[in-house]
Amino acid sequence: LSAIADVTRLAGVSTATVSRVLSGLDGVSPRLRGRVLRSVDELGYRPNAVARSLRVGATHTLGLVVCDVLNPFFTELARAVEDEAREAGYAVILGNADERPERQDAYVEALLDRRVDGLLISPAVKTSPLIQTAVRRGASIVCVDRTVEGLDVPTVRADGSRSTAELVDHLVGLGHRRIATIAGPQATITGRERLVAFLGALAAHGLEVPEGHVELGSFQQGSGHAAMRRLLTLPERPTAVFAADNLMALGALQALRAAGLRVPDDMALASFDDSPWFELIDPPITAIAQPTAELGRVAVRALLDVLAGRHARSRLLESRLVVRASCGEQVAGHVGAGVRAHAEQELED
Amino acid sequence: LSAIADVTRLAGVSTATVSRVLSGLDGVSPRLRGRVLRSVDELGYRPNAVARSLRVGATHTLGLVVCDVLNPFFTELARAVEDEAREAGYAVILGNADERPERQDAYVEALLDRRVDGLLISPAVKTSPLIQTAVRRGASIVCVDRTVEGLDVPTVRADGSRSTAELVDHLVGLGHRRIATIAGPQATITGRERLVAFLGALAAHGLEVPEGHVELGSFQQGSGHAAMRRLLTLPERPTAVFAADNLMALGALQALRAAGLRVPDDMALASFDDSPWFELIDPPITAIAQPTAELGRVAVRALLDVLAGRHARSRLLESRLVVRASCGEQVAGHVGAGVRAHAEQELED
DNA sequence: CTGAAAGCGCTTACAG
DNA sequence: CTGAAAGCGCTTACAG
């Protein structure tokens, strides 16, 4: 691999001139410019971005640490992030926390060591001393989907409360009274928020949640499977289950299939996070759709704002209920009113 | 952010000593070592990996360029790559070619500029002059899933021919005679291989493929949808369709649903690439499963071999047919014989 | 055991 | 318009 010195030698100019030509600065005579360009071409010279980064103090690289790359929600998010970042001239290094705080922290550290210009994190849990001190030391960080408690950084997420309440209305409207949930980890804001909204909405209908009707999962597939299996052994079985994410819904469905139970007759099922597969299941699965790609794009833009020294707002996008058949016969026109497509409101300012 | 100079100042030692302590080299007195460690701790000093990389000529970072991150196959692959790389102390920068050659090349260039130690590529198309010259200039590259023509680098992929032939046997055994395919791009080895195997297997059964029964898709969801719609308008409609990947099968299924057709009675469907959703569809979808995660891990190990100057073999893993109900009533014991779980054979050496 | 110094490959004031 | 030189933050021979 050739270095700038090879070019200077071949072109008979100084490194300053080579650098100026390649940076597109003017103030270089056409003659020298031509010689530089020809030499660069002949050598196939490409500037070393590592050296450049050290010198200019920026890597034009963003870090993205997600909770679980196997979760389609985060896949789609990552894709949008990568897309938006690329358009702005940034590469992105991806880290997968696998829902484990220590792995998340290891990634945050590795990315910061590599001097990424900014970091996009969907924190595995609500607390992270490491992230706290990183921010205090001046790291540019934006949280997406989830927040870290007491951390003063812009956060981009979708509200889950409202659509969860709509979902409960939908279920109750269809006659369900014993509604269970497979909740996410209560150490995450999304897991917590969805459970609180679920319980609150049931209470608003005067419904109590019996012992054992709140299962705590890990947001991963296996935990959804196990939780549904436990729910099925309950003496007073629920008639409907709300899974707090995509992957747990998948696991729950597998458990229902394995038990030979039919949806929605034996058990209604609804999920947070939509999936293109849901409409192909028989019956199609009712779900709450997040504006996933938009979350990613908005988060990147917020991070770019931070990097540019501009003020970046936190943003709370809307999620929306997509009613299909998995909770029972649909009452015509029942839910339409509450549904707004990805409208958005602000958290702060 | 503090630099090594801050530590030397606080600890009253030279940069050499700080560097030695942090690199875990011995030959530093306990007294100085203690002072360095205390100062590092107090400052929260973390060595700048960019500077280190420039000095030692290695970034401990791998690049991964995949065709399409929205494709679950590549998601799972990426996850395995990231996992295996992390265990070896490497971070991975992810690039998404989105099945577009020019975007792939842009990523390859950006990653090489950033001096990744090695590059894992699943090339969007069979030819890439850029990759060719990169290899000639000494870049460490391993191909995964797909190859580049005439490129002499280790390649890790799964054989699709054998299981595709098994699938055709399965279809013919169930009485299908008019079998169509939604093939992948013929400029990719996987797309080509699967189509060639499909046509070959039909020929072995004495079956011809009528005009219009070979649809060419892009490996992406929309193309599967469009292709199935076209197949449905054919005067002599096929009774079975083989989709050359996951996403096109998803699109095809959506088209069948939209047309109100039942699987397998109105149309049998099988797919290359398995999905956890397939067993939840009614009927469960017959598919060819690749050892995806293993492909990723093996590819990383091959790349690490290259980086270590060891010889790395190309590897051809086996894929396997997973018979479910989407092609018709299953004849008991019919396919079992040909099925081997992820056995493997070598391409070279 | 310790430090002064060179050097990785760039960019960018500074001087001419 | 051009180049010599400093410096980004490290590591690593080299000398003592």
Walk along chain A (349 residues) and give the pLDDT tens digit of each residue. Answer: 899 999 999 999 999 999 999 999 988 999 999 999 999 999 999 999 999 999 999 999 999 999 988 889 999 999 999 999 999 999 988 888 888 999 999 999 999 999 999 999 999 888 899 999 999 999 999 999 999 988 999 999 999 999 999 999 999 999 999 999 999 999 999 999 999 999 999 999 999 998 899 999 999 999 999 999 999 999 999 999 999 999 999 999 999 999 999 999 999 999 999 999 998 888 899 999 999 999 999 999 999 999 999 999 999 999 999 999 999 976 454 443 333 333 333 333 3
**B261 — contact with chain A (CB < 8 Å)?**
no
Backbone angles phi, psi at B202, to 5 degrees: -65, -45
- Asked if A83's CB is within 8 angstroms of B91's CB, the reply is no
Measured CA to CA, the distance from residue A70 to residue A53 in angstroms comes to 32
Closest C-alpha among B302, B317, B296 to residue B78: B296
> In the predicted model, what is the mean pLDDT of chain B?
91
A83 contacts on B by Cβ (under 8 Å):
96
Measured CA to CA, the distance from residue B142 to residue B146 in angstroms comes to 10
**A110 — contact with chain B (CB < 8 Å)?**
yes
How many other C-beta atoms lie within 10 A of the C-beta of residue A339?
14
- Asked if A276's CB is within 8 angstroms of B281's CB, the reply is no
pLDDT band at B333 (very low <50, low <70, confident <90, very high): very low
- Residue B330's pLDDT is 62
| DSSP H or E run through A230 | helix A221-232
Beta bridge partners of B322: B287
- Residue B347's pLDDT is 38
Give SS3 for A87. helix
- Residue B18's pLDDT is 97
Residues 6+ apart with CB under 8 A from B165: B197, B200, B201, B204
The answer to whether the predicted template modeling score (pTM) of the entire model surpasses 0.85 is: yes
Q: How far is B240 from chain A (nearest CA, A)?
A: 18
Burial class (CB in 10 A: 0-12, 13-18, 19+), A196: middle
A76 within 8 A of A295, measured Cβ to Cβ = no
Measured CA to CA, the distance from residue A134 to residue A185 in angstroms comes to 25
**Share of residues in chain B with pLDDT > 70 (%):** 94
Name the residue of chain A whose CA is nearest to B106's CA.
A86
Burial class (CB in 10 A: 0-12, 13-18, 19+), A346: exposed
Q: How far is B83 from chain A (nearest CA, A)?
A: 8
Measured CA to CA, the distance from residue A300 to residue A85 in angstroms comes to 7
Measured CA to CA, the distance from residue B201 to residue A86 in angstroms comes to 43
Which A positions 230-259 lie with beta carbon below 8 A of chain B?
250, 253-254, 257
CA–C1' span, B20 to D8, in Å? 21
* DSSP codes of every residue in B41-105: HHHT----HHHHHHHHT---EEEEEES-TTSHHHHHHHHHHHHHHHHTT-EEEEEE-TT-HHHHH
Q: Position of tokens 């990552």?
A: A78
Closest C-alpha among A100, A107, A103 to residue A63: A107
Max alpha carbon distance in chain B (Å)?
Answer: 88
Structure-block tokens of residue A297: 């794009």
Measured CA to CA, the distance from residue B182 to residue B195 in angstroms comes to 9
Flag residues 25-64 of A with CB < 7 Å from strand C. 45, 47-48, 51-52, 54-56
Give SS3 for A289. strand
Measured CA to CA, the distance from residue A92 to residue A114 in angstroms comes to 12
- Residue A347's pLDDT is 38
Backbone angles phi, psi at B223, to 5 degrees: -70, -30
Name the residue of chain A whose CA is nearest to B55's CA.
A51
- Residue A178's pLDDT is 95
pLDDT of residue B339 exceeding 80: no
Q: Which nucleotide is nearest to B30 (CA to C1')?
A: C1
**B348 — contact with chain A (CB < 8 Å)?**
no
B253 contacts on A by Cβ (under 8 Å):
280
Q: How far is A166 from chain B (nearest CA, A)?
A: 26
Q: A152-161, A331-340, B133-142, B178-187: which has the minimum mean pLDDT?
A: A331-340
B317 within 8 A of B157, measured Cβ to Cβ = yes
Measured CA to CA, the distance from residue A292 to residue B67 in angstroms comes to 21
B165 within 8 A of B128, measured Cβ to Cβ = no
Cis peptide before B283 (omega within 30 of 0): yes
